[in-house]
Every structure is written in C-alpha cells, then in structure tokens.
Amino acid sequence: MSSTRDSLLDLLQRKSVMYGDFTLASGKKSDFYCDARLTTLDPWGAVWLGEVGWELVQRKSQELGVKPTAIGGLTMGADPVALAIGIGSVKDSAGGVPPLQCFSIRKQAKAHGRGKLVEGNFKSGDTVVVVDDTITTGGSTLEAIEKLRAEGAQVAFALVLVDRSEGGVEAIEAAGVPVVAIFNRADIDATRNVV
C-alpha cells in the first residue's frame, strides 16, 4: 500500500494543495487550502484512494471489532471518497466479503418524491463509515454523523482524506466517533519543497 499511498499523496500535492491566504468554510483564515475534489475526481486519484481507503477501513474495522456495511457522508465532498472506497472494496468480494454499499447525505431532505435525507444504499440499522475529503473543525463530519444517527445508523468510525490538523479530529472523537485520516497537514507539508 505504501507506493499507492505515495502516489495518492503526490497527486494530492500537485493538484489539490495550495499555499497562500484563504478563507475557509468555517470562516477561519489559513495559509493552506486543499481542493480535494481535484484529486478525488481524478481517475487515478479515485483508484488510489479506493485502494488506500479500503485498506484503512479494513484495518480500523478489525481494530474496533465492527463490520460496516455502507460508507458515505455529506454531499458533495464525501461523495467521490465514498464511491472510490466502495469500488475498492469490490476486489475482496470474490473472497466472500460483501463490498461496501455507498450513500450520500443531502444538506436537507428532498421536498418531493420520498423526501429522503440519505440517498443511495442505506437503511436504518446499518453500521456505517462516515467519510469526508477534508476536516478542519469537523463540522461537516459531525453534521453527517448527527443526520445518520437520526436515521437509525450505527456510526462505526469516520475516515477522511486530509486532516488539516486544526482540531476537527478531536471534536469528532469527543462526540464518540473514532477518526482515521489518510493524510494530515504534516504529511502534506513534508512534500511541499520536494520537486
């Protein structure tokens, strides 16, 4: 997995990471911005994310003694992350491990049709992994967790592509949900001056 993880980090650094003066969704100012969708919506990025993410899901599931059946998060940052990892899980389905089903959480329930808040392959009682592309304060991930719990989900843990190392992981874990990050700010900064 190391070379795949390295390839994913290299792509993330080249396509998604920017340094400068930015205002984040939380309103905070930062010298670091990660437009993760440039990586998660890149075909190679999705393949590598699926492999690395699925490996981490398996490892964390074993560590916690849980068997998640579905993966997803708040639209739209979580959508390509969930789908990549769901596709990554298919490779083990031949060995009898069912692939992870994917879902997406709307900001608000639909006002028409079935009025669903959670779209895709999810049902009340499912044990799920909540994903996001980046975590700063943890607000989006916490919102996803709250909505899923209200819909009857058992949230096993959260997985994120990039932890900006600004307190979000701690906030999510304080809500009783363990977090695993593929990369953190130190991982990304370590490659900053590499040509």
Domains in the chain: boundaries: 2-190
Average pLDDT, the chain: 91
With bands split at pLDDT 50, 70 and 90, how would you rate the model's confidence at 187?
very high
Name the CA dihedral angle for 29, 32, 35, 40, rounded to a multiple of 10 degrees: -140
Q: Residue 112: what pLDDT?
A: 64
With bands split at pLDDT 50, 70 and 90, how would you rate the model's confidence at 110?
low
With bands split at pLDDT 50, 70 and 90, how would you rate the model's confidence at 194?
very low
Place of tokens 């990369």: 183
Q: Is the peptide bond before 18 cis (omega within 30 degrees of 0)?
A: no
Task: State pLDDT tens for residues 71-94.
Answer: 999 999 999 999 999 999 998 776
pTM over 0.85: yes
Average pLDDT rounded to a whole number, residues 146-159: 96
Q: Residue 11: what pLDDT?
A: 96
With bands split at pLDDT 50, 70 and 90, how would you rate the model's confidence at 1?
low
| 155: nearest Cα among 193, 183, 126 | 126
Beta pairing partners, 32? 19
Q: Residue 24: what pLDDT?
A: 78
Place of tokens 């049709």: 113
Angle of helix 43-64 relative to helix 2-15, nearest 10 degrees, comes to: 130
- State yes or no: pLDDT of 96 exceeds 50: yes
Fold of 2-190: Rossmann fold (3.40.50)
